[in-house]
Amino acid sequence: MRVRDFSRPTTLNPDRLFGQVAQKLAVAVITGRVRAGEVLPNEDDLRSEISVSRTAYREAVKILTAKGLVEARPKSGTRAAPRERWNLLDPDVLSWHFEADPNEKFIRDLFELRRFVEPSAARLAAQRRTSADIARIEAAYRGMADGAPYAEATIRADLAFHEAIFSACQNAALQCLSSAVIATLQWSLLLKTGDEAAYIESLPDHEHVLLAIIDRDGDLASARMAGLVIDSLNTTLASLGTHVATETGKIARIKHTK
């Protein structure tokens, strides 16, 4: 399901050959089609799936190695790595994960992370924000309020809102987490498309966060952001349930709740 990607383009080029191979292999690993055993034998895959040279294949493997999905041992073979080695927070891994196996536990984990990180980020933003930060966050909020729910521009604005808050923290390490948060948020928004009520109701929450940050009230900003994330999780889980119950299309793959 070729979803539109509103966030910054993923680092590895998907219309390049090695990118496609990497994605294929990544999905195979993430879904568990290959466990901790060897990956699909080099030549075998080359011959069957798509005719691809060893160069492209190796570069794809290098990408996956860099992201912790596989481990290439000098001579014994290239094996799928155990899940705890994966860089789950890497934007690419995350998007592959959504595509391959968006089970409920995983969603809960990600939202739990959001629940820990975003309130803290909001607090920090409230303490450190410059007027430029405010302008950015406010512009994003306007974009959310003015646009039609779940329109492309609106979603983009929502993502920008959260990203701007991270940016206002002036913390590179935290900033790095924002890409994971954004990816989670984006996925959940695409899932919720149609639930206009949820979107409308979230607007005041966003505004309240904005106001708290303007007031430099860290505690308030943190508390309001925490509420926002929790609401977001609830509506997302509701949509997830709906989709599992009704849809039979591609998105219904989501029912893997292993």
Contact set with its own copies (CB under 8 A): 8, 11-13, 16, 18, 55, 58-59, 62-63, 65-68, 71-72, 74, 81, 83-90, 92, 106, 109-110, 112-113, 116-117, 120, 124, 171-177, 180
d(CA 74, CA 72) in angstroms, rounded, equals 6
- Contacted entry of DNA, its own copies, none for residue 172, CB cut-off 5 to 8 Å set by kind: its own copies
Considering only residues 11, 13, 130, 234, which one is a binding residue for DNA as defined by CB under 7 A?
Answer: 13
Considering only residues 6, 7, 10, 18, which one is a binding residue for DNA as defined by CB under 7 A?
Answer: 18
Helix axes 131-146, 152-168, angle to 10 degrees: 160
For 243, residues 6+ apart whose C-beta sits below 8 A from its C-beta are 191, 251, 252, 254
Closest to DNA by CB, 45 vs 138, is: 45
- Based on the shown chain and the rule CB under 7 A, indicate whether residue 11 belongs to the binding site for DNA: no
The number of residues that bind DNA (CB under 7 A) is: 24
Q: Which of positions 68-97 make contact with DNA (CB under 7 A)? A: 72-78
Considering only residues 8, 16, 108, 216, which one is a binding residue for DNA as defined by CB under 7 A?
Answer: 16
Closest to DNA by CB, 42 vs 175, is: 42
d(CA 42, CA 21) in angstroms, rounded, equals 12
The helix/strand/coil state of 214 is helix
DSSP-derived secondary structure letter, 16: S
For 129, residues 6+ apart whose C-beta sits below 8 A from its C-beta are 137, 168, 213, 214, 216
The two structure tokens encoding residue 73: 């041992």
Closest to DNA by CB, 64 vs 107, is: 64
- Contacted entry of DNA, its own copies, none for residue 193, CB cut-off 5 to 8 Å set by kind: none
d(CA 22, CA 80) in angstroms, rounded, equals 13
- Contacted entry of DNA, its own copies, none for residue 117, CB cut-off 5 to 8 Å set by kind: its own copies
- Based on the shown chain and the rule CB under 7 A, indicate whether residue 142 belongs to the binding site for DNA: no
Considering only residues 33, 47, 54, 85, which one is a binding residue for DNA as defined by CB under 7 A?
Answer: 54
Nearest approach, Cβ of residue 74 and DNA (Å): 4
DSSP-derived secondary structure letter, 185: H
Closest to its own copies by CB, 31 vs 175, is: 175
Q: Residue 162: how many CB atoms within 10 A of its CB? A: 26
Length of the chain: 258
The helix/strand/coil state of 227 is helix
Question: Please, are residues 206 and 116 in contact by the beta-carbon 8 Å criterion?
Answer: no
Half-sphere exposure of 5 (CA within 13 A, CB side): 18
Which stretch in 58-66, 87-95, 99-107, 145-153 sits in contact with DNA by CB under 7 A?
Answer: 58-66
- Contacted entry of DNA, its own copies, none for residue 31, CB cut-off 5 to 8 Å set by kind: none
Residues of the shown chain interacting with DNA in the complex, contacts defined by CB under 7 A: 13, 16-18, 39, 41-43, 51-56, 58-59, 61, 72-78
